[in-house]
Amino acid sequence: MSALKILVIPGSLRSGSLNAKLAAVLAEALAQLGADITRISLADFPLPIYDGDLQAKSGVPLHAVNLKRMIGAHHGVLIVTPEYNSSVPALVKNTIDWISRVQDPHEARGQVFRERVFAIASASGNRLGGTRALAALRLILSACQAAVIPNQLALSFAEQAYDDMDRLKHHADIEAMRALVQQLIDHSQRMM
């Protein structure tokens, strides 16, 4: 049997991003459980703001097509999103909007969301840990008919959450991480 493939998408481009750091930690935890991990940066897939007129005139951008196909090459997807103004940042929402418009021959639009398992996580400097962004992201993915696992990770006070080796240091955070990655693996294996 081929290896379980998980795509990890940090939803931040900022240098020193708390969410990119959490994505790296989660990717490592998934790899330790035997998953084949691909971690990308959305900076490598620049997309214009979604506009139906632009799509009608020029079609779906190649970067959106490539991202959709990358998602399609994996059994599970982990999105680690920042929280901006109590919701997901425009980068994350816009990426999902474009990917949901890609329709390859012999498939229904949005099929890639229905045939994968998604997990969500967030890191924040405040005590809520990005929970409002996670609620918004879960709603967006659910509208795309994606299966989003119940477990999620909202990392509070993220600047103080790591030890000197960039590993999570608080027991509750470690347990939440373990539950998230194990559930993502368990559900993704059903897609193999």
Token pair of 41, please? 């940066």
166 has pLDDT over 80: yes
Domain limits for position 143 = 5-189
Question: What are the tens digits of pLDDT across the range 30-66?
Answer: 999 999 999 999 999 999 999 999 999 999 999 999 9
Judge whether 13 and 83 are in contact, CB under 8 Å: no
Question: What are the tens digits of pLDDT across the range 79-88?
Answer: 999 999 999 9
Question: Tell me, what's the pLDDT at 1?
Answer: 53
Looking up residue 138, the CATH number of its domain turns out to be 3.40.50.360
Judge whether 82 and 133 are in contact, CB under 8 Å: yes
Its pTM surpasses 0.85: yes
The count of domains in the chain is 1
